[in-house]
Structure 1
Amino acid sequence: MSQVKIFGIKESLNPIKKELSDVIHECVVEALHFPQDKRAHRFFPLEKENMFYPSGRTDAYTIIEITMIEGRETETKKKLISLLFDRIQEKIGITHQDIEICIYESPACNWGFRGMHGDEVKLNYKINV
């Protein structure tokens, strides 16, 4: 299980939401071996005055937060981050400099979905990849 939050300045983020979601999902499927039908993305387009970012960045500055059940190998998470940087730049045109990614992990018992606790649900994909 994972959920993705994407933050950016609305004028830059809104026109690319669908394409960016597709690229993020493609990377998650490849790196984490997720099924194609497992996509939970939420976009947070912000007014420019509500988005402060480091110098050297542009209005394309985008923050991607991925929350998932813990258990992935370090190399798997690094692969996901690398895929995101490269494919977003290649397919969307946002440079590496304008992308920040953070992965948050939580034990399965802290999750609830389909009316069950995350550590009781039988998933159709592996967590320990």
Structure 2
Amino acid sequence: MIVVYGISEHLNPIKTSLSDAIHSSMLEVLGIPEGKRAHRFIPMDKSDFFYPSDRSEAYTVIEVNMMMGRQRETKKALIKSLFEVIEAKVGIDPTDVEITIKEQPAHCWGFRGMTGDEVQDLRYSVNV
């Protein structure tokens, strides 16, 4: 699951193109299926969104939540791909993008009525 935070006046007009950019990196680097898009956008009032003074109002925070298992190099490749694709497709300078990957053990995920460690039919590999 992806959670994206930004100033509402900047984030709202680019939600679709940003979602497309993020999803293309997830497909390419992690090999997730096309239909596995779970993005949440949290547009915030400027008065509620504090960011570093050397960033612009385009400053965008992206949290990538996923099950543990990906290799260090895979996660680094995802972060680098996100910077590149977001700049190319959405026009946000990498200086204005902050990305964090939050990993949880499979037993801490719940979907389709079971925990992640019980799932036997994922259509993608977590261990890449």
TM-score (norm 1): 0.97
Residue 56 of structure 1 deviates from its aligned partner by: 1.0
Unaligned runs of 5+ in 2: none
Moved over 3 A (4+): none
Residue 104 of structure 1 deviates from its aligned partner by: 0.3
Of 94, 108, 111 in structure 2, the residue corresponding to residue 110 of structure 1 is: 108
Residue 117 of structure 1 deviates from its aligned partner by: 1.0
Distance in 2, matches of 1:33 and 1:45, equals 28
Distance in 1, matches of 2:116 and 2:58, equals 35
The count of residues paired between Structure 1 and Structure 2 equals 127
Q: Deviations over 1:43-95 (max 9, x none)?
A: 00000000110011000000000110000000000000000001101111100
Of 19, 35, 38 in structure 2, the residue corresponding to residue 40 of structure 1 is: 38
Distance in 2, matches of 1:109 and 1:125, equals 17
1:119 aligned counterpart, secondary structure: helix
Residue in 1 that maps onto 2:118: 120
Of 19, 22, 25 in structure 2, the residue corresponding to residue 24 of structure 1 is: 22
- Alignment of 1:96 with 2:77, yes or no, is no
TM-score (norm 2): 0.98
Question: Aligned AA for 2:5?
Answer: F
Distance in 2, matches of 1:124 and 1:34, equals 8
Distance in 2, matches of 1:89 and 1:63, equals 14
Residue 14 of structure 1 deviates from its aligned partner by: 0.1
Identity of aligned residues (%): 55
Distance in 2, matches of 1:44 and 1:29, equals 23
Distance in 2, matches of 1:46 and 1:73, equals 33
- C-alpha RMSD of the superposition: 0.5
Distance in 2, matches of 1:84 and 1:26, equals 9
Question: Aligned AA for 2:125?
Answer: K
